[in-house]
Structures are given as C-alpha cells and as structure tokens.
Amino acid sequence: MKISFHTDAFNTSFVDFDRCLEWARDNDVHWIECGLIDGVSWIHGLGYQPHVAMYQDPALLRKHMASYGVRFSQVDAAFPLSGIDGPAYGLPYVLKAIPWAKHAGCGCVATTDGLHRPAGLTDEEAMDLMKRQYQRIIEVAEAYEMTVTIEVHGYFTTKPEFLERMLAFVDSPFLRLNLDTGNTFIAGQDPVAFCERFRNKVAHVHVKDVSESLAAIVGGGQTGIALSQCAVGDGVNASNIKRCLALLHETGFTGHLSIECEGQGGPMLTHSLHWLRQTLAELGIPEEKA
C-alpha cells in the first residue's frame, strides 16, 4: 500500500503547499493529497494555506512536485452535491477538477455529500439530485480515465444503505469509494463492518483516528470531522483502523492510505506516520514507495 497524507494537517500552521512537499520529502513519503481552490483566495496567495488553486498550471505543478519526489494520491473537490447548491456550485467545480487533475498526474478526485439533511429536499429528492450530477461527472471522468471517489463524510454517505445506492448511481469502474475510518466512527457506524461491506469498492482511504474526548462528546451525533485533533494510533479508533487495513490487504487493495490529522506543523503527523508504518509492518503489508 502507498502512504499519503492530506495537507489539511498543516491548515492551522498557516504554511503553503511547498512546506507540505518539504515534509513529505524529509519523511520519505511520496504521495500527497490536498484541497483544490477554484478561484483566488488572499490567504492562499499570501502563502498561508497548504492547498493548491486551479489557476496554477497543473503540468508545471506536477514537474515542481516531482523535484521533491512527490505525486498526488488524490485531489479534494468535495463541495457537497446533496443540497440545492450542488448543481450550481459543486458540479462545475468537480467537472473542472477532473481535467486539471489529469494534467497534474493525479488519478483520483474526491467528492461527497453535505454534513446534514439538505434543507428543502426529501431524502429521495436529494438522492435523485445527486444521481443526475454523478451521471454527468462520470461521463467526463470516463473520458479522462479519472477515478471519482465518494468520500464517507456526510448525512447520506455515512449511512450504508444510501452509500450503496450512490455507488450504483452509474455502472462504471471510475466511480469508487474513499473510505474514511474516522467519519464512519463518529457517525455511529462500526468502521470494520463498514469496510467489510464496501471493501471491493475502495479506491482511496482516509486514515483518521478519534480522540477519546471527542468520541464521548459526539456519540454518533456527527458525520464528518473537519480536522481530527488526534494522532493516528493515539485514539479510540486505532484498533478499528488496524482491522480495516487487514481486511483491505486481504481484498488485494494496494492503493493510497492518506493520513488525516491536525499535524501541529508536523510533529503529530510524524507520530501518525510512524504508527501507520509500524502497523503495516506488523500486518505484513509492504509499503510501496515511488
């Protein structure tokens, strides 16, 4: 399996994307995941945000990343598609992200639903709205041979019965799952059972732990963690993560494991990386490096 990390880990450090590339190089990590900005952001332009904007030339960025020995595991275009704003804002965002990602040398684009039941829509109306959008998204994804993942993050995706229907919106090998071990947990699901049910659909994984204090407060009342304040391996979800990795290995998964945590400028991310590498070794899972 390939180890990656989401640049969200550096959000609170107010550094730029190059700082993330430096951390990856210094820690022998060869894949990286980040958010895509569609437009101009002053905080990004001043170098205080560790994500990339689609006005940046993707071919030149790919070359720049290669100088650090790093490539994208996935880019995050996860504007919620389940609400009434989905067709107006989310759909154009994802459609623009697909060709950009292709030129940037990336194989996956992440999408998702909203955190809550969408206002003004029934569940079935929202599902129909998303189905129409995914039909268009996958039409474009197939043309670019780009995998579009549905991330477990919101009201619909953390419910297995809805997620199963979403993954069947289009019969295509380019519509896959981004499993999130933390979001399933805080939504009140069993991450291992969730992984077992969908393991043949997984294309990309967010490895995320949950602190004991957050687990006690949330108790299944949320769906997606904005940023986990717990190093991977230090929380109440660590044993579930390990069992999920074993299941995925048994399935033949050789894709990317993207660490998600509040990195504290690096130290917490370094701790997470150490735990993940040690766990892979214990499970007899080789780490693939570029």
Please write the tens of the pLDDT for every residue from 176-229: 999 999 999 999 999 999 999 999 999 999 999 998 888 877 666 677 777 788
pLDDT at 278: 98
Please write the tens of the pLDDT for every residue from 49-100: 999 999 999 999 999 999 999 999 999 999 999 999 999 999 999 999 999 9
Please write the tens of the pLDDT for every residue from 218-268: 666 677 777 788 999 999 999 999 999 999 999 999 999 999 999 888 999
Which residue range(s) make up the domain with 29? 2-282
Is the pLDDT at 290 greater than 80? The verdict is no
273 in any annotated domain:
yes
Quote the number of domains for the chain.
1
pLDDT at 220: 63
> What does pTM read for this prediction?
0.96
220 in any annotated domain:
yes
pLDDT at 218: 66
290 in any annotated domain:
no
Confidence of residue 275 (pLDDT cuts 50, 70, 90): very high
3-state per-residue secondary structure call for the chain: CEEEEEHHHHHHHCCCHHHHHHHHHHCCCCEEEEEEECCCCHHHHCCCCCCEECCCCHHHHHHHHHCCCCEEEEEEEEEECCCCCHHHHHHHHHHHHHHHHHHCCCCEEEEECCCCCCCCCCHHHHHHHHHHHHHHHHHHHHHHCCEEEEECCCCCCCCHHHHHHHCCCCCCCCEEEEEEHHHHHHCCCCHHHHHHHHHHHEEEEEECCCCHHHHHHHCCCCCCCCCCCCCCCCCCCHHHHHHHHHHHHHHCCCCEEEECCCCCCCHHHHHHHHHHHHHHHHCCCCCCCC
pLDDT at 226: 72
160 in any annotated domain:
yes
pLDDT at 108: 98
208 in any annotated domain:
yes
45 in any annotated domain:
yes
288 in any annotated domain:
no
Please write the tens of the pLDDT for every residue from 112-154: 999 999 999 999 999 999 999 999 999 999 999 999 999 999 9
pLDDT at 219: 63
The enclosing domain of 263 has a CATH number of: 3.20.20.150
46 in any annotated domain:
yes
